[in-house]
A and B are shown apart, each in its own frame.
Chain A
Amino acid sequence: MIELTTEPIDYNQLTESVRDHAAGAVTLFLGTVREFTRGVQTSWLEYEAYPDMARASMVELEAEAFQKFTVTRIAISHRTGTMALGEISVAIAVSSPHRDQAFEAGRWLIDTLKERVPIWKKEHFADGRKEWQHPGMTPQANTKGAKP
């Protein structure tokens, strides 16, 4: 199950959706809004997606995970919009016959999602600054690039 939503993620329902009699293990990963990053305080986060491609990319991730790992079911939900501290931005549930595969697939899914799926995070800091997060770009280039 793949979902891109602006609503709070119901991780109980997401977890239930992967439960299966063929599975002996279920893992759940939650990504949550962190208050401090390298000592800088965040007030809230804003997530933006390229919705069509984000959904297509997550469907591809799911299909690839089924090829790479012996898993029973997969559910991925990513939320967009504004999120307060502690809120859940992403949830990934995996079930598998044996636990190793559910752990490995869940780890691969979140790592690859962060590399590939076109979604962006904007930090709104406690000091009033706001900044798009773009891995691989220097903070300086990031700040300057965002100005006209």
Chain B
Amino acid sequence: MNLNVLFFAAARDVVGTDTVTVDVPDGSTVGELQQLMIQRTPQLERWSVALLWAVNNRYAGCDQVLHASDVIACFPPVSGG
């Protein structure tokens, strides 16, 4: 299945674009998607412990299973306020 992943702030700067489309096997998890993104963009590796993932506007853990219709986002620790 194809997934669109949105990137924000420093994560977007590292990836170099705000949206990436990736083809992953059905049933893939957030953790597997992160591994794939790090393979594609090795510079993400040093951020990996801090990267946050959101699925459908909610924070998601590594075990969460992804679906083609999901809105997926990846970003560094937040610093609003």
Instruction: List residues of A whose CB falls within 8 A of some B CB.
Output: 31, 47-50, 52-54, 56-57, 78, 89-90, 110, 113-122, 132-137, 141-142, 144-146, 148
The docked-state distance in angstroms from the alpha carbon of A47 to that of B8 is 11
Q: How would you classify the secondary structure of chain A's contact residues: helix, strand, loop or mixed?
A: mixed
**Contacts between chains A and B (CB distance < 8 A), count:** 96
Residue among B9, B54, B57 with most chain A CB within 10 A: B9
Q: How would you classify the secondary structure of chain B's contact residues: helix, strand, loop or mixed?
A: mixed
Q: Which of B22-30, B32-40, B70-78 contacts A (4 or more CB under 8 A)?
A: B70-78
- From B6, B43, B54, B73, give the contact of A145 (CB < 8 A): B43
Instruction: Take A145-B10, A145-B43 as given contacts and tell me if A53 and B57 are in contact as well, using a CB distance cutoff of 8 Å.
Output: yes
Decide: B14 and A48 in contact? CB cutoff 8 A: no
Instruction: List residues of B whose CB falls within 8 A of some A CB.
Output: 6, 8-10, 13-14, 16, 43, 46-47, 50, 52, 54, 57-58, 71, 73, 75-81
Decide: B78 and A145 in contact? CB cutoff 8 A: no
